[in-house]
Amino acid sequence: MAVVKSALYSRNQAFTLLELMVVIAIFGVVASIIGLRTGNFSWWNEDASLRRLSETISFLHYQAGADQSFYQLELDLTKNQFRAGVLRPDDTAIASLASLAAGAGNLTLELAAFLNPSAGDSQTFIPPPRYPSLAEPYQFPEGLVFEDVVTMRGTIKPGDATSSISGDNTRAVIRFTPRGFSEFAVIHLKRPSGASVTILVNPFTGVTETYPERRDFEWAYGRKKE
């Protein structure tokens, strides 16, 4: 009888150990899946934010023409946010731009509008009438940050950017005109992993190109070759 009890005890003990090993294995698999999905979710969330920025730029390019309005995208380089609105120039700005129109081509006029400081100082930034939600700041996920923004006015970095609309030193701007011309811009960002991302804005089509690395581009239209 003692031998039988001992055999049963050993058999039950082995079965319990096997169950424990199975449970540990299951926990390990579940933990691995959760960790993998969490990492993938963060990456997808970052990609979704980059796509939203790119799609917003293309949308503003075409919407400016459809609405016959000047649109502006504001990039908050400190808070890592962006928002869009409509520019309404006052009578002085309209008169100054109209004086440039005589004998000038579309591109020449647009460049004058972008680079003329007096035009930028006399504009009001308001929510788009048909798309007021665009004026609400869109927040990047934690760790996805702006490195710098390059426009025809030069390179802007967090802390030294200026906006004629906001009047502070935290924002860069990209403008879109009703004649189908967008401001040339190169947006450099960095992921939480440290990987760089570059978004290039084509001023003639509004189409953006995204590169999974840092790339530098320069606006050279109209410059004389050395």
Listed by start position, the domains of the chain span 2-89+124-211
- Reported confidence tier of residue 70, pLDDT bands at 50, 70, 90: confident
Average pLDDT over residues 150-156: 84
78 has pLDDT over 70: yes
CATH 3.40.50.1220 at 2-89+124-211, yes or no: no
Average pLDDT over residues 174-198: 91
Query: 3-state class of 193 per DSSP?
Result: coil
Average pLDDT over residues 52-66: 93
The pLDDT tens digits of the residues spanning 86-113 come to 887 654 554 555 554 455 555 655 665 5
Average pLDDT over residues 115-121: 46
143 has pLDDT over 60: yes
Cα separation, 60 vs 125, in Å, equals: 14
Residue with the two structure tokens 């084509």: 202
pLDDT exceeding 90 applies to what percent of the chain? 33
Residue 11: CB partners within 8 Å, gap ≥ 6? none
Cα separation, 110 vs 76, in Å, equals: 24
